[in-house]
Structure 1
Amino acid sequence: MKKRELVLGGLCLLALVLLPGRREAADLPADAPAELSAETNYIALTFDDGPNRGTTDRLLDGLKERGASATFFLVGERISGEEDLVKRMQAEGHQVGNHTWSHVRLRGASEETICRETRQTEEALEAILGPGTYWLRPPYGQIDEKERKLVTVPMVQWSVDPRDWELKNKDKVVQAVLEAAKPNAIILLHDIYPTSVDAALGIVDTLQKQGYWFVTVEELLKLNGIEAQPGMIYRSGDQTA
């Protein structure tokens, strides 16, 4: 049984027990992988700005090999021609979200711009994946209280930002994430850079050995007993903004 399947099974227990974001060994399924430590922690990898042929597909290969789930916030204008990658994300258990149509800064944007940018990408995702709630990550993580009222889905920021887009160095990105990683963290990366893909897989390898399970943002919140609300911003599995 894959790690993600075990996590999803654990989510079904939330109606009976409120999970605090970690479970003792006695609470884990009997067939949990042997490499897990006595304490299992949950963490979320998130990727912005894709999809991108040549990096996103390689990332999906690596995550599948490792039984790790992630959340992808897609730029709408990049989706055309990459529909197979978007379908694969959903089919392999990842969460797919909205990063606006053209990566426009929402803070200070007009109501018309915000609605157009978010709706266009939402429509593109619905055409490929069907109706759903596609959570939003505002570009640059920036959106004001006034603009938040226009958003009808939960929003996601992050608690760990290694600035991979700037470093473009696998080892430095891995080091920055490992120094900041902790249970319930939401890690920001970008799947359009080869160095970020390499770093992401290195991060997964190291943290899995330390007992972490990689889950989607939605799963991370549910594991903390949180039902995400429209217009709210979530920075980690147990922190809102």
Structure 2
Amino acid sequence: MKKDQLLTRRRALLAGAAAVAAAGTAGVVELAAGGKPARSAPPAGGSPAHPLPQKPSAYRLRPLTGYGGAPRAPHGTPVRHKPLMEVPARGRTMVLTFDDGPDPRYTPHILDTLREYDVRATFFVCGEQAEWNTKLLARMADEGHVVGNHTWSHPLLTRLSRSRIRSEIERTSDVIEDAYGEPPQWFRAPYGVWNRATFQICADLGMDSLAWTIDTEDWTRPGTGTIVHRVEHGAAPGVVVLSHDAGGNRSQSVQALRSYLPHLLDSGYQLTVPRRQYV
């Protein structure tokens, strides 16, 4: 019953949300609106009040793949040879993602900020963290966020056997489904390192792989101002921002979000969550 209630609440939050960008090819990421923009749209003429750079960000991730073609698992999820790296660049849309949580010291503050500005984000959680913080996953469901799988213990998957990879991913999916109300549809490999077995297992479990285009490198604690600069300087239609809400002291990440989020919204960006569509 609890799971059904969570799923009902989550679907109600997202019900009626129109896709911001249509997926034109198989397996491309579509945008699902995560509620009304908290800030006003750009003024007439299309120029934002506080423009930010519009050049595309460099793709920093270099996954270890080596698996050609894109056959589909029995239930229809493609087996990829590389992760999805961005969302369609139609409109001023971006995706915020947070890895390694949830952490009761930092995740609630991030959720508070997102709720204040009526923005939805994607959280890639580790099972061993999620197991002890299931109430935070339930809150993510209640507030319309997407929860993805980031393995159980954050290992380097290329050093594990196929059975160990499956165990890392399956255990985390089970925790997410119990607390969040539905199984995850998205997976992100620790350290951004995928391999053939990982793509195949994720497809078999009904998940797609999402990477990033802006790496804040907040885990190095470079300073709040540096994190803000990396996001605002790299902002462009279609980018996916990588930050962290756990795995260390993430106070800089919390403060940086409070700074760059209203700036992005004032500049006309729509912060949304990924949605899959296959044609």
Relative to the length of structure 1, the TM-score reads: 0.77
Give the match for residue 200 of structure 1. 257
On the 8 A contact 2:141/2:181 being kept in 1, the answer is: no
Q: CA deviation at 1:201?
A: 2.3
Give the match for residue 216 of structure 1. 273
Give the match for residue 119 of structure 1. 170
Give the match for residue 11 of structure 1. 19
Q: What is the SS of the residue equivalent to 2:215?
A: coil
Give the match for residue 187 of structure 1. 241
State which of 122, 138, 145 in structure 2 corresponds to 1:71: 122
On the 8 A contact 1:136/1:154 being kept in 2, the answer is: yes
Q: What is the SS of the residue equivalent to 2:98?
A: strand
Q: What is the SS of the residue equivalent to 1:143?
A: coil
State which of 151, 167, 180 in structure 1 corresponds to 2:221: 167
Q: Deviations over 1:35-70 (max 9, x none)?
A: 211555110000000000121001101100001110
Distance 1:72 1:8, change over 3 A: farther
1:62 matched to 2:113? The reply is yes
State which of 28, 41, 44 in structure 1 corresponds to 2:92: 41
Distance 1:53 1:162, change over 3 A: same
Question: Runs in 1 of length 4+ with deviation above 3 angstroms?
Answer: 5-8, 12-15, 31-34
Q: CA deviation at 1:197?
A: 1.3
Distance 1:21 1:109, change over 3 A: closer
Higher helix share: 1
Q: Identify the structure with bigger relative contact order (alpha carbons < 8 Å, sequence gap 6+).
A: 2
1:130 matched to 2:181? The reply is yes
Distance 1:228 1:83, change over 3 A: farther
Q: Deviations over 1:18-45 (max 9, x none)?
A: xx989xxxxxxxx976621155511000
Q: Deviations over 1:195-239 (max 9, x none)?
A: 111112222111101001111122xxx6xxxx269xxxxxxxxxx
State which of 194, 198, 201 in structure 2 corresponds to 1:143: 194
- What code does the residue aligned with 2:238 have? N
On the 8 A contact 2:140/2:180 being kept in 1, the answer is: no
State which of 83, 88, 92 in structure 1 corresponds to 2:143: 92
Using the alignment, how far apart are the partners of 1:209 and 1:189 within structure 2?
21
Using the alignment, how far apart are the partners of 2:144 and 2:99 within structure 1?
17
Q: CA deviation at 1:12?
A: 8.8
Q: What is the SS of the residue equivalent to 1:52?
A: coil
Paired residue total: 206
Distance 1:178 1:14, change over 3 A: closer
On the 8 A contact 2:218/2:253 being kept in 1, the answer is: yes
- Identity among equivalent pairs (%): 31
- What code does the residue aligned with 1:73 have? F
1:103 matched to 2:157? The reply is no
Q: Deviations over 1:122-175 (max 9, x none)?
A: 011111123333311100111123432222210111000021101341111000
Give the match for residue 51 of structure 1. 102
Relative to the length of structure 2, the TM-score reads: 0.67
Q: Deviations over 1:174-210 (max 9, x none)?
A: 0011111111100000012111111122221111010
